[in-house]
Structure 1
Amino acid sequence: MNEEQRVDVYPSMTVVKEQESDKTEHIEPLQLGKRLKEIRMTLGLTLEEASKRTGLARSTLSKIENEQISPTFQAMQKLATGLDIDIPQLFAPPKQITATGRRDITRNEQGKPHPTTTYEHELLATQLTNKKMMPFKSRVRARAFEDYSGWIRHDGEEFLLVLGGEITFFSEFYEPVNLAEGDSVYYDANMGHMLVSVSEEDAHILWVTAS
């Protein structure tokens, strides 16, 4: 988008480099037995059930969980296969994903209008701040390449889905391509791009811009 068209939806970000600390990072010792027990409990398995699934004796599993013996590589393969996990999961739990509970519903035609000379944008999910994506619907007013003063460029990547009508999608390094209802394109928004309606009525599109 050019200066006239660009919607400033991402607040500026400042990266602060942390100063080096004199403290030595504390590394927890590997507790394979504890990790194995966590996996077994998460799966809701008793030692007996885990023994049947892995082919390892119940006593062997118990000794591994209590750090009395270290499993061989062959035993770890049986554990991974029987518990349906990858071997690395025996050594480190998967990263925990914390749901923030963010949600924003935009009713039909209730988005925030933002008209320009070439588009009529309807911004969606405007109640949320610091979004990683900016979704919006647009009516494409432009009818010719010459309607633009130059290539549109901005940071991030974009996904475009044609909701109705037909457009010609121009991009700096590719030949123009026509896109009809249901067609889509994903592209690097730093590459010059623009689009025009070629259908009788103005085309309608869904745009999603990601930072």
Structure 2
Amino acid sequence: MPEDLSQLNGVLDAVGPRLKALRRQRGATLSQLSDATGISVSTLSRLESGQRKPTLELMLLLARVHQVPLDELVDAPATGDPRVHLKPIERFGSTIVPLTRRPGGIQAFKHVIPPGSPAGEPRLQTHEGYEWLYVLSGRLRLLLGEHDLILTPGEVAEFDTHVPHCFSNPGPQPVEILSLFGPQGERAHVRARPASDPQP
């Protein structure tokens, strides 16, 4: 197979996992995405699983709904620049900044939650995955199953996202958190070495 054709197939093969990651990042179901795009659930499912190659028409519809440029959806071959160009997403009054750009596997995000957000009664949610979070600044309220916790800067939590959970900001200042999320339930392995330990 010519190198150019092989590279093109590689780009197209990566579209499915990227579409799935974008949809899950938005917290949308296939049915909701179908309603928003007019694309059938079965076609969306086949696109995400790689069983169907994306057409330009489908990609344009999905790029518009996901609010990303078409070239980002396709993720053309890397030019050698390793920097991630941050593109904040507004969701439920909070700002979410994706810090990684490859779909699948563990994803990193920075969340900025304004004071008093979200408004109203906490809405617990469940979904596939495993989450690790670190509070950078402010005070984060974490409702997790039967637990009602306040986390302060430097504190860490990790949990299976099948457990009902919700983040909110009860304080007068914005909360900033760093989170690692594994959509298939991967756990983030964090290793810390005391400063006094000798390096091997």
Report the TM-score when normalising by structure 1. Answer: 0.46
Higher helix share: 2
Q: Name the larger-Rg structure.
A: 1
TM-score with structure 2 length normalisation?
0.49
